[in-house]
Structure 1
Amino acid sequence: MGGAFLAAAVLARVGSRIGLPTIPLFILAGILLGPHTPGVVLLSDPHDMEMLSALGLVLLLFYLGLEFHLDDLKAGGRRMAIAGGAYLALNVGAGLGFGFALGWGTSEALVLAGVLGISSSAIVTKVLVDTGRLGNPETKPILGIIVVEDIFLALYLAALQPILSGADSLSSAVLDAGKAFGFLLLLALAARFGTRIVGRLFATRDDELLVISFLGAAVFVAGVSEWFGVADAIGAFMVGLMLGSTASGERIRTLVHPLRDAFGAIFFFAFGLSIDPGDLPMVLWPVLAAVALTLAMNVLAGLAAARVYSFGPQPAANISTTLLARGEFALILATMAAAAGLDERLSPFIAGYVLLLAVLGPLAASRSPWLARVLPGRLLPERQETKTPELVG
């Protein structure tokens, strides 16, 4: 574990000197020190870091919830749903069509629809933090799209699981979907009406007690969410959403920073451990085609969101590039596909696709002004420029 932290830190420090984002460097550290490459092997079994990796994801999404205020959610609910629906329709639809075009099978196509369609909440959060864009106007629709994706994700997984497991009972599939949706509704009601009560429960002047309290709440609700068939990430997000609106919200944001950064790095490092570079050549061309398709769909989705929110080319480019990366959800689908005995090319394809976009996504986000220059201004309501702050860290 100490070696993982040090390796991630060393590579990130070297990369920062030449302007590279930290996310792909954390992943590269995991690949170089994992069981699939020659040389030093810190961990022969990537599952040894599974709990720490899960904690990193929970803290990243918890922090995202702290930054996403309930007032923003209530005020922009309709536009958020339209922008998120457009993003899913373009990307999930393209992923499904791509899956059928590959000819690997119907179940494989359904898996690829999710792989190509859902952004990485963890990488999106890290990109927003690293580029200093949390206060930008276009960050609200970006976070809104992630919320819509997570809601879709819960229902998608509930529907996909019986298909992959060969279940022939429609009632069990409907029951799973209903259980997930019911828990999501319960979380939403708690976030909407329970903020005052939650604020009283977490009110304390002692930083130590506050850290233990919010960390316990985020991890516990994330675990319960997963038991109900809802992504643990959305459970942590909803806890952050509730706590961010309390009197302790600002202190919690400050206290969670070092935890978020440390365990977030472990999340990406553990992702690198799971990648076997030797499997990638056999799926190189499908991976490149899928990446090109995702780039195109993200640009279209960014333009659509910019029109909904009356943004200009620069915010549209920021939306397109920030949401580009794929990550933790795709890896969950790869695990499900392998357990279901689907096409053996699926796992290396997902690994190569996610790795390439995990590298390209943060790079593209940091250079979004290049994309803004070539976006067709006539498709947007106004030519509004948003200043992009300098990179942090």
Structure 2
Amino acid sequence: MDHNTPLMSTVVVGLVLAFILGLVAQRIRVSPLVGYLVAGVLMGPFTPGYVADQNIANELAEIGIILLMFGVGLHFSMKDLLSVKNIAIPGAIVQILVATLLGIGLGEALGWSFGGGLVFGLALSVASTVVLLRALQERRLVDSERGRIAIGWLIVEDLAMVLTLVLLPAIAGLLKGEGNGASLSSLAMPVLITLGKVAGFIIFMLVVGRRVIPMLLHYVAHTGSRELFRLAVFAISLGVAFGAAIVFDVSFALGAFFAGMILSESELSQRAANETLPLRDAFAVLFFVSVGMLVDPAIILREPLPLLATVFIILFGKSIAAFGIVRLFGYPNSTALTISASLAQIGEFSFILVSLGVGLGLLPDRGRDLVLAGAIISIMLNPLFFALLDRVLADSDAKAAKAADAAAADKKEKAAPRVPLPETKLIDHVVLVGHGRVGSVVSRALRLNNTPLLVIEDTPGVVERLQKEGVEVITGNAAAPDMLQAANVMGAKGLLVAIPDAFEGGQIVSKARALSATLPIIARAHSEEEIAHLRHHGANVVIMGEQEIAKAMLAQIGATGVA
């Protein structure tokens, strides 16, 4: 029996090499993404030794993109998407135009035709779905306003590229200067058909998918089979993405995103997200491996100056344009910098576009090689952009905290802070940090007992709902300066830290303990290490969910002995 099959060898060699080199990268304090990309270069046709099947690698990578976008959709809603339309739509369009013009300019300098420069510029204008989402997830920004804007921006870019891929073959003759160029009607018809298909897909998902997908998953969940539930999640994510591409001609990523967004309205969304996580991460690694396989390292020596110019457009041309657009719409520097860093790379749509451009005779092979090399370099450097962003934002927060402390210590009347915190009048109340799955149960019980309650929460939808229900809420992160003082923890009967992140919880507990040595503080944890961490910072009681479940189960059968 022949064990050396292309599929098996591509998966095994790709994952093993990515693991080894990712581990080395982590060891030398570089992003593991660099290790994954180098693994792809070593498996590619431009380096000696084993050469993996590029087509198989690309298809495996596409599965990773589908699962990743499905997972993002599970944390999104139509309301979230529409809430950022005023910045995402014009912002993405203007940024695409700026990057495309820069690409056309570079193409002209290199002696290419206008059509070649246009394809080149468009390829440099669109960011990679996988890279952007990985960066946001690592920093827990997907559910933040910055994350929603970045994802909305990405979706607009995807839709623009879908239109481009449809329109480009129709106008190829015109761009090449051939006499049989496309007429206005021949240009308008493909665009109208594509827009009609996208609209049809969205309507289908909102009318049919919104009813069928949650109902199907609930039915499977009631069978009690975890295996069938996991299979149902994968079948829905991959099936909807594939069906959207075949029937409606939209991208796999867009189809998977809408499938996840529809399912997000179900209470099973969190369980569905957990079921897809292991495979999603594995296939995302194969995406980076497949990118590395496309790159010829020798281009660094053959085309140093054009490559440098290409990378400059990707890293700085797009980022500066995005920063200016976001600031123009009145958003703070933190949001503008996050969007800029998110877009400072290119990926999957760029590869598809340059391949089509070369096939149509618009873009020379030299242009494709520059885009592929620019992609791997930008993906390698993107984590450095985010590391720099983290440092800049941390310094900015520290300066803001010092400024706030100085303003509070100054007894003279001065200008108020930009967004003054509302200070509660409550005393002998309970301060609840976080209103998620645990916090909402605690909140409901306290209100039933008529216990004075103040909630600290930073999710806009949750804040609005609590305010409508008459609950006093302070919006923001409880670890931020002056937040706990505004909640009057000094006069509270207790502080309940219900957020799942023990590191952030430790910061909150430490600040609360500094304000009051006698305040009862109760926090939640998921491990013995987290319990020790929270107690070290001053928590009186730390509750681990697994222990309490075990106690309750033993209590039901009359057993004891759980500490």
The TM-score range, normalised by the shorter chain, is 0.7 to 0.9
1:177 equivalent in structure 2: 191
Code of the aligned partner of 2:139: T
In 2, distance between residues paired with 1:4 and 1:165? 40
Paired residue secondary structure (1:277): coil
2:90 equivalent in structure 1: 82
Code of the aligned partner of 1:134: V
Q: Retained in 1: the 8 A contact 2:240–2:255?
A: yes
Pairwise mapping of residues 243-262 of structure 1 onto structure 2 (< 5 A)?
243-262=263-282
1:323 equivalent in structure 2: 343
Residues 131-189 of structure 1: CA distance to partner in whole angstroms, max 9, x if unpaired?
A: 33223331111011011111111111111123347885545554433332122112322
Code of the aligned partner of 1:178: L
Pairwise mapping of residues 304-383 of structure 1 onto structure 2 (< 5 A)?
304-308=325-329, 310-341=330-361, 342-370=363-391
Q: Which segment is superposed worse, 213-222 or 364-373?
A: 364-373
Give the direction of change, closer, same or farther, for the CA distance of 1:260–1:344 in structure 2 (3 Å limit). Answer: same
Residue of 219, 222, 226 corresponding to 1:207: 226
In 2, distance between residues paired with 1:146 and 1:47? 25
2:161 matches 1:153: yes
Residue of 22, 26, 39 corresponding to 1:29: 39
Larger Rg: 2
2:239 equivalent in structure 1: 220
In 2, distance between residues paired with 1:132 and 1:184? 30
Q: Which segment is superposed worse, 216-225 or 150-159?
A: 216-225
Give the direction of change, closer, same or farther, for the CA distance of 1:25–1:111 in structure 2 (3 Å limit). Answer: same
Q: CA deviation at 1:191?
A: 4.2
Q: Retained in 2: the 8 A contact 1:23–1:123?
A: no
Cα RMSD of the aligned pairs, angstroms, is 2.9
Code of the aligned partner of 1:30: G
Residue of 111, 132, 138 corresponding to 1:103: 111
Q: CA deviation at 1:383?
A: 10
Q: TM-score, normalised by structure 2?
A: 0.62
Code of the aligned partner of 1:256: T
Residue of 20, 23, 27 corresponding to 1:10: 20
1:377 equivalent in structure 2: none
Q: Which segment is superposed worse, 85-94 or 114-123?
A: 85-94
Give the direction of change, closer, same or farther, for the CA distance of 1:343–1:82 in structure 2 (3 Å limit). Answer: closer
In 2, distance between residues paired with 1:191 and 1:225? 10
2:57 matches 1:49: yes
Report which of the two has the higher share of strand: 2
Residues 211-231 of structure 1: CA distance to partner in whole angstroms, max 9, x if unpaired?
A: 222322322333333344422
Give the direction of change, closer, same or farther, for the CA distance of 1:165–1:232 in structure 2 (3 Å limit). Answer: farther
In 1, distance between residues paired with 2:65 and 2:343? 17
Paired residue secondary structure (1:96): helix
Residue of 178, 188, 192 corresponding to 2:202: 188
Q: Retained in 2: the 8 A contact 1:4–1:266?
A: yes
Code of the aligned partner of 1:26: Y
Structure 2 regions of 5+ residues with no counterpart? 1-10, 175-179, 397-417, 421-475, 481-500, 504-563
In 1, distance between residues paired with 2:271 and 2:348? 29
Paired residue secondary structure (2:365): coil
Structure 1 regions of 5+ residues with no counterpart? 375-381
How many residues align? The count is: 381
Q: Which has the higher contact order (CA 8 A, sep 6+)?
A: 1
Q: CA deviation at 1:111?
A: 0.8
Paired residue secondary structure (1:367): helix
Identity of counterpart residues, as a percentage?
24
In 2, distance between residues paired with 1:92 and 1:274? 23
In 2, distance between residues paired with 1:339 and 1:250? 43
